[in-house]
Amino acid sequence: MTERTLATQEPDDRGAGQEPPQRKNGLYHEVSEELAANMSQGWADTERPDLRPIPQAGHTARRRTELSARFPGERLVVPAGTLKTRANDMVYRFRPSSDYVYLTGDQSENGVLVLEPREEGGHEATVFLLPRSDRADGEFWLSDRGELWDGRRNSLGENRRLLGLACGDVRALAGTLEEGTGPVRLLRGHDAGVEEALRDKVTAERDEEFRVFLSEMRRVKDDFEIADLRFACEATARGFEDVVRSLGRARATSERYIEGTFFLRARVEGNDVGYNTIAAAGPHATTIHWMRNDGAVRDGDLLLLDAGVETRNLYTADITRTLPVSGRFSPLQRRIYDAVLEAQEAGIAAVGPGAAYRDFHDAAQRALAVRLVEWGLLGDLTVEKVLELGLQRRWTMHGTGHMLGLDVHDCAAARTEAYVDGPLEPGMCLTVEPGLYFQPDDLTVPEEYRGIGVRIEDDILVTEDGNENLSAALPRRADEIEAWMARLRA
């Protein structure tokens, strides 16, 4: 990684207490007038006047109209977010806030969507963005974030054509935010500068209502979102195939090889992984959110792989398969696996329009409780008593699913009555992911169970007449998994 300096650095032989050389505009030392003049000329015009709107532009316009109708007469402010430091002067790859993407389709850092109320009703939407670097004043090469360093940005005109809404210079946003005396609502937590500028104009109560409404807007997916989720699942399935083919190399290295293999697919076909990959082999599979991915991959163990490709439009899949590293389940592994599969199938069967959101969780938990009682792990208690006391949760701690979309745990700010206590509707997408986890040190189960963890997860779309498994391309039954693995490794 090249440091952001053009001048040659002298060896650092400063004595104690001496200050380092001062930087101006990211450079060590002053630049000559001749270099500045040279850099200000000889650049081609690269404006692209023929750009077409992005595919989701019509959908984002409709979403903004819905948002406008909910908050008439109020200014609404939705930031994309800013770069975050990883270490020293290195930053993480930027990923904008999901609500900003949902309403604009843009993925630019520092962007801010402002919906300004009109006297005649409705809102005027403007997205404030950083324009092209100015070649005349040297910003493109003298600034730490100029285009020579970080790549070409779209001009405001280009963004206007792409996004289908008015674009302003974000450097003038502070003045815009100072104007007006009416009520303002802000999506907090993404841009400290915007929050400071609006500190005296917003209230925590209004902003929380705004955040909740935005989250609830995203519960039902439109055609564009469903198509993107479908592609995310297809790409993720190919990533799982890549992992199966690489298991020989993973055995010679570690779980990191599995993580890296899947990441390659995510970057080639999408934007990134939608969340940190869980590549949990052997007893690590009993840790529900194992993300260290530094353990051994051994024949005879199971691999629990929980991973999802995030598309270039930022929608993510979330799929889990539990695979025998050797390609064959042992009898006990198959027994536990089949119990989890039964629970998942019961959960999927409970997903449909009009069903209570909690139904699929309850169905899966009941199926697991039946098997745990049958195996004698809960004494002489009945299934009903086990469920009443929640004793099955010792081995299946998490909920059976969650909504899915721009966030892997989508719509997280929605009210309880609109989410987990509400009904399912066509267009909702959720995961169904029961699991059983027998910890290596759990003395309440037979020794042979200890260290076995199994989870099976699929992405389920609620349809008008039932549901569709968007991740059905990946096999789920134990015999199908063994045949699939043998074919890929042949």
- Summarised one tens digit per residue, pLDDT across range 267-297 is 999 999 999 999 999 999 999 999 999 999 9
Catalytic residue from among 249, 267, 289, 415: 289
Over range 83-89, report the average pLDDT: 94
Concerning whether 89 is annotated as a catalytic residue, the answer is: yes
- Verify whether residue 366 is a known catalytic residue: no
Selected catalytic residue, list 106, 109, 228, 306:
306
Looking at the predicted structure, is the pLDDT value of residue 23 above 90? no
> So what's the pLDDT on residue 143?
83
User: Which of 99, 318, 345, 410 is the catalytic position?
Assistant: 318
pLDDT band at 11 (very low <50, low <70, confident <90, very high): very low
Question: Quick one: tokens of 377?
Answer: 């792990």
Per annotation, catalytic residue among 4, 190, 334, 402:
402
| pLDDT of amino acid 135 | 87
437: annotated active-site residue: yes
- Whole-number pLDDT of residue 31: 86
- The residue behind tokens 């001062």 is 22
Catalytic-role residue among 109, 301, 457, 458:
457
Asked if the model's pLDDT at residue 223 lies above 50, the reply is yes
pLDDT above 80: residue 28? no
Which pLDDT belongs to residue 30?
80
DSSP letter at 164 equals: S
Q: Which of 106, 433, 458, 482 is catalytic?
A: 433
Chain centroid to CA 441: 33
- In whole angstroms, give the CA distance from residue 253 to residue 129: 45
| Rounded distance between C-alpha atoms, residue 359 and residue 399, angstroms | 12
3 falls in which pLDDT band (50, 70, 90)? low
Label residue 181 exposed, middle or buried (CB < 10 Å: 0-12, 13-18, 19+). Answer: exposed
pLDDT for position 457: 98
Q: What's the whole-number mean pLDDT along residues 365-394?
A: 98
| Whether pLDDT at 7 is above 60 | no
Mean pLDDT of 416-428: 97
Which entry of 234, 398, 425, 450 is annotated as an active-site residue? 398
Instruction: State the average pLDDT for the chain.
Output: 93
Catalytic residue, candidates 152, 171, 312, 409: 409
pLDDT (0 to 100) of residue 316: 98
| Cα separation, 48 vs 307, whole angstroms | 37
Q: First CA to last CA across the chain, in angstroms?
A: 40
Strands 184-186 and 75-79: parallel
306 is annotated as an active-site residue = yes
Domain covering 223-488, topology: Creatine Amidinohydrolase (3.90.230)
45 pLDDT exceeds 70?
A: yes
Rounded to an integer, what is the distance from CA 279 to the centroid of its chain?
A: 17
Task: List the structure tokens of 232.
Answer: 């995310």
Is 123 tagged catalytic?
Answer: no
For residues 9-32, give the mean pLDDT: 45
Task: List the chain domain ranges.
Answer: 57-217, 223-488
Which of 22-26, 62-66, 179-183, 340-344 is predicted with the least confidence, judged by mean pLDDT? 22-26
Is residue 318 annotated as a catalytic residue, yes or no? yes
Asked if 80 contacts 110 with a C-beta cutoff of 8 angstroms, the reply is yes
pLDDT higher than threshold 50 for residue 21: no
- Residue 466: phi and psi, rounded to 5, are 160, -120
**What are the start-end ranges of the H helices in 218-327?**
223-245, 247-252, 255-269
- Options 437, 449, 458, 459, the catalytic residue: 437
Tens of pLDDT, residue by residue over 305-324, are: 999 999 999 999 999 999 99
Domain 57-217 carries which CATH code? Answer: 3.40.350.10
Known catalytic membership, residue 457: yes
Which of these is catalytic: 185, 265, 455, 476? 455
Per-residue pLDDT at 63 exceeds 50: yes
Whether 417 is a known active-site residue: answer: no
Q: Residue 125: its pLDDT value, please?
A: 98
- Mark out the alpha helices in 25-97 (DSSP H runs): 33-39, 57-70
Question: What are the CA-CA distances from residue 404 to residues 32, 172, 298, 428, 458 (Å)?
Answer: 54, 36, 32, 8, 11
Q: What would the pLDDT profile of 149-198 be if each residue is shown by its tens digit?
A: 999 999 999 999 999 999 999 999 999 998 888 999 999 999 999 999 99
93-132 confidence digits (pLDDT tens): 999 999 999 999 999 999 999 999 999 999 999 999 999 9
Helical axes 223-245 vs 255-269, angle rounded to 10°: 140
Q: Which of 89, 134, 294, 374 is catalytic?
A: 89
